[in-house]
Chain A
Amino acid sequence: MRDSQAAAIATNRFGLGARPGELAACASDPRGWLEAQLKGPPPLIPDPGLQSTATLVATIDKVRAQNRQLRQSSAASQSAINAAVKLGEIYRPAYIGEVTARLRLAAATDRPFLERITQFWSNHFAVSVDKAVVLGVAGSYEREAIRPHVLGSFAQLLLAVERHPAMLLYLDNFRSVGPDSRLAGRAQERAGRTLGINENLAREIMELHTLGVAGGYSQADVTAFAKVITGWSIGAAGQGLAGGGVPGEFFFRTNIHEPGPQTVIGHRYGQDGESQGESVLLDLAAHPATAQHIATQLARHFIADEPPPEAVARLARVFARTAGDLPALYRALIAESTAWSQPLTKFKTPNDYVISAWRALDLPIEDARSVPPLFASLGQRVWSPNSPAGWPDRSADWDGASALMQRLRWADQIGQRVGAGVNAVQLAPQILGDNLGDTTRVALGRAASAAQAVTLLLAAPEFMRR
């Protein structure tokens, strides 16, 4: 038996928008089609042109040091300034390469559910290229800290994320100093400088990554946790205080770690060093508030802006019962009847919109430099949420009048670009399936040109939502 309504939901809501042929391929068993995507190792991006975070951070450190030397040696002569390598010359190509590789994968993948999940986690544990230092490493962060762990446990994912240099840079933890650490003591003695903690990462781990804002922690817990993760830093070349470890990789700096036990949410952590932080993270991952928080976020992403509380409760129970086993959680989501009862409950984000257009039309990428502006012009520059909360996930956050008009302008540009090469009348049922309504069908048939028909297809209410 074919279930065409479910196929439309599987490809558009759980997936990234149907490619031609995908609806037909999954129609006999839409839920099985989704489950099959969870089998096998998660797909990594096999692009040899992309660099690791460690390489990029180490390169940047080296360039910075060279630039400093240049400036000092020739007393800021013009030639020295000209010879200095601008950091953007390293970061920008890396960013363009990563954004393009990500779009290529999303546009072509036959595991679109898993790719949506990957992007969900990447946004849940958001870093933002609004911070200049993150520009070059947001993509490698997603490849290194998120992708390999999306089919593991939540705890593994959490540990990978919070240790990653991109996160330590983005939320400032790499140089957060324990007030009673060895380095702080020496700085006070020698230079009268008071060093201390930066509580940014600790707060956002609790508020955004794990417990949620109402998860039952206090300011005192934030401060104590910030002390626990002092020393979680990044390796750098050189012998001095800033040196040590493998350049550009996670490095635990004993000399800035706050010594002694800390109490976080009523639990005393007496370990020494790095394992103290790991221990807190594992407890946060297993906390009931985390189960509730993650279940809410997932349900909002896959069911509706305001998901049914009973659906959230069921997902939270699975999370708790399986100790945060992610594939079990995804299977529970597939089994969640409320996710299948209503089509088109979610307004697409610009990111969803671009990717689904790419999949529907099989668009080529001619020039990688044109890819980042695609997303930026629609209001969602890749990896650039305004805050560590990541991009918001409700219709009202994306459906402004001006945003819609910009989306339509973009659709028109695509329509004119692919022009007569696409038959939108034939394509529409292949990508929208059961969601395709009569109004749209008739409008496409009456379009003044093939190009206009493509514009109308991309503009249709059925294509604006998932």
Chain B
Amino acid sequence: MHTMKRRRFLQGTAWVAGGALLTTRLSFAGAGGDSRLVVVILRGAVDGLAAVPPYGDPAYAHLRGGLAIAAPEATDGALRLDNLFGLHPQLAFLHESFAAGELAVFHAVATPYRDRSHFDGQDVLESGVPVPHASQTGWLNRALAAAPQAGHSAERGVALGSNVPLMMRGPAPVASWAPTKLAELDEDTLQRIADLYAHDPMLGQRLGAAQTANAMAADQASGTMGGGGNNRYEEVIRATAGFLANEAGPRVAVFDTTGWDTHANEGGARGQLATRFGALDAALRTLKTQLGPTWRNTAVLAMTEFGRTAAVNGTAGSDHGTATAAFLLGGAVHGGRVLCDWPGLASANLYQQRDVAPTLDLRAVLKGTLVDHLGVPANALDSVFPDSGGVRPLRDLFRA
């Protein structure tokens, strides 16, 4: 009896492969329905002046000292984007993507948050509300709740990791998934636990979401998911691709990374931060490969809570700053462009004489992505990003 109930439960969700899905897909082409979005949260405040070095800015090399990335012609130099900007030499895949027109680079970009606490900064980045800790739900979840959804899973988004980051918490049901080495429970025990949770809505919902994600992961075990690799992000990126490439799967995935808080021994073309950039770059390359044809409909947003000081600090690192760089990558992206109103690094142009001054509101990028990529109705943007009336969506970020 328990087993039967479990089967019925699985059949009720759209993630399990089956003939019915084909028709769903046919009836739902276009209108943002096939688009996929991956948000990569880079926690710890990524140094935008290292990720996208403005090697052409006359103040750059002096301010950065040992952290400076050399001009493109030099050994270990930046990968050229234009006469002002390059990419960090470890970001080779991003550079190829830029050349292929699949990467848009933003610089001097910031959320509305202007202080320098990681925790408040990440809260604003994720909640989409200008005041820290003012919301228990995230902008991405609220956007998912407002986005067209026909034909997709009950869980519209998936967080790659044990827990769901604030950005993905809210009214729309979401799942989370993380690799495990522990054995799965047998169906009888699982069903008994489901019965234990029958009167506990929170635990009941979580258990259901975990079971659907597991069923899907098991479906694809022989395909794109699993597999080793020497990259720290490899397994999770493969899983992300598996979920998104599944026609009936979630449209949006959030992938969390940490360790970008480089107060000491940050390194330049090589070193601690360079290694992390290399791992991120390789992970994104894997994502593209694993997504196959789905890449065409995919956008990847990589962003962080704020930037770092323009000048190197006393311990060969950088302290908390303000504006930084962000990336929009993918087959759906109208890229090959640096979108930036560069404020310059001359001391008078720095924010509070220390940080890159913000000239672009990150929410403009996010709004443009939601409307033009995910098909979120423009009139929903005010509730997705409260108190952002003055911030207009950046249009033209995606291929027609």
Contacts and interface: CB of A to CB of B under 8 A. Distances in A.
B187 to A, nearest CB: 12
A335 to B, nearest CB: 28
A403 B169 contact: no
B330 to A, nearest CB: 25
A200 B190 CA distance: 46
B188 A400 contact: no
A402 B163 contact: yes
Contacts of A409: 180, 182-185
Contacts of A402: 159, 161-163, 175-178, 210, 213
Interface string B162-177: 1110100100000111
A311 interface: no
A438 to B, nearest CB: 10
Most A CB contacts (10 A, CB to CB) among B115, B118, B183, B209 go to: B118
Contacts of A171: 263
Contacts, number: 166
B159 A386 contact: no
B163 A379 contact: yes
B275 to A, nearest CB: 13
B206 A401 contact: yes
Most A CB contacts (10 A, CB to CB) among B175, B181, B190, B210 go to: B210
Contacts of A455: 185, 189
B185 A408 contact: yes
Interface in A425-448: 439-440, 443, 447-448
Nearest to B160: A402
Interface string B193-216: 101111110110111111101100
A396 B127 CA distance: 14
Given A387-B119, A396-B164, A377 B210 contact: no
B319 A198 contact: yes
Given A172-B264, A200-B263, A405 B119 contact: no
A459 B197 CA distance: 9
Nearest to A388: B118
Nearest to A208: B119
B314 A179 contact: yes
A452 B190 CA distance: 10
Task: Describe A's contact surface by its main secondary structure.
Answer: helix
Given A396-B136, A401-B207, A196 B314 contact: yes
B15 to A, nearest CB: 13
A159 interface: no
A405 B163 contact: no
A172 B263 contact: yes
Contacts of A386: 43, 258
B113 to A, nearest CB: 11
A172 B192 contact: no
A197 interface: yes
B13 interface: no
B263 A406 contact: no
Contacts of B117: 203, 207, 213
Contacts of A413: 182-183
A406 B182 contact: yes
Contacts of B388: none
A332 interface: no
B173 to A, nearest CB: 10
A18 interface: no
Task: Describe B's contact surface by its main secondary structure.
Answer: loop
Given A389-B118, A400-B162, A406-B178, A219 B197 contact: no
Contacts of B164: 396, 400-401
Task: Give chain A's interface residue range (CB within 8 Å of chain B).
Answer: 35 or more
Most A CB contacts (10 A, CB to CB) among B182, B208, B320 go to: B182
Interface in B246-263: 258-259, 261, 263
Contacts of A405: 180, 206-207, 210-211, 214
B176 A459 contact: no
Given A195-B314, A198-B315, A219-B352, A404 B195 contact: no
B336 interface: no
B337 interface: no
Given A176-B315, A203-B320, A386-B258, A400 B163 contact: yes
B193 A459 contact: yes
B317 interface: yes
Given A401-B209, A461-B196, A461-B197, A197 B162 contact: no
A459 B185 CA distance: 12
A55 to B, nearest CB: 24
Contacts of B178: 379, 402-403, 406
Nearest to B120: A213
A405 B65 CA distance: 48
Contact of B116 (A219, A378, A443, A460): A219
Contacts of B32: none
Interface string A321-347: 000000000000000000000000000
A200 B319 contact: yes
A198 B314 contact: yes
Contact of B163 (A219, A398, A456): A398
A406 B43 contact: no
Contacts of A198: 263-264, 313-315, 317, 319
B199 A439 contact: yes
B202 A387 contact: no
Interface string A185-228: 00000000011111110010001100001000001001000000
A130 B257 CA distance: 13
Interface string A379-415: 1000000110100000111111111111011101100
A284 interface: no
A130 B258 contact: yes
Interface string B339-352: 00000000000001
A387 B175 CA distance: 24
Contacts of A403: 162-163, 176, 178
A19 interface: no
A194 B65 contact: yes
A149 interface: no
Interface in B124-166: 132, 136, 159, 161-164, 166
Interface string A48-91: 00000000000000000000000000000000000000000000
Contacts of A401: 164, 175-177, 205-210, 213
A175 interface: yes
Contacts of A389: 118-119
Most A CB contacts (10 A, CB to CB) among B65, B178, B185, B258 go to: B185
A404 B206 contact: yes
A83 to B, nearest CB: 26
A464 interface: yes
Nearest to A212: B117
8 contacts: A175-B264, A198-B264, A198-B317, A198-B319, A203-B319, A401-B208, A443-B196, A452-B192
- Top 9 nearest A-B pairs (CB, nearest first) are A196-B314, A400-B163, A405-B210, A403-B162, A401-B209, A401-B210, A409-B182, A402-B176, A400-B176
Interface of A: 130, 171-172, 175-177, 179, 194-200, 203, 207-208, 213, 219, 222, 377-379, 386-387, 389, 395-406, 408-410, 412-413, 439-440, 443, 447-448, 452, 455-456, 459-461, 464
Given A130-B259, A203-B319, 12 more contacts: A196-B313, A197-B313, A387-B44, A399-B202, A400-B164, A401-B205, A402-B177, A405-B206, A406-B178, A408-B193, A410-B182, A461-B203
Interface of B: 43-44, 65, 115-120, 132, 136, 159, 161-164, 166, 169, 175-178, 180-185, 188-190, 192-193, 195-200, 202-203, 205-211, 213-214, 258-259, 261, 263-264, 313-315, 317, 319-320, 352, 354
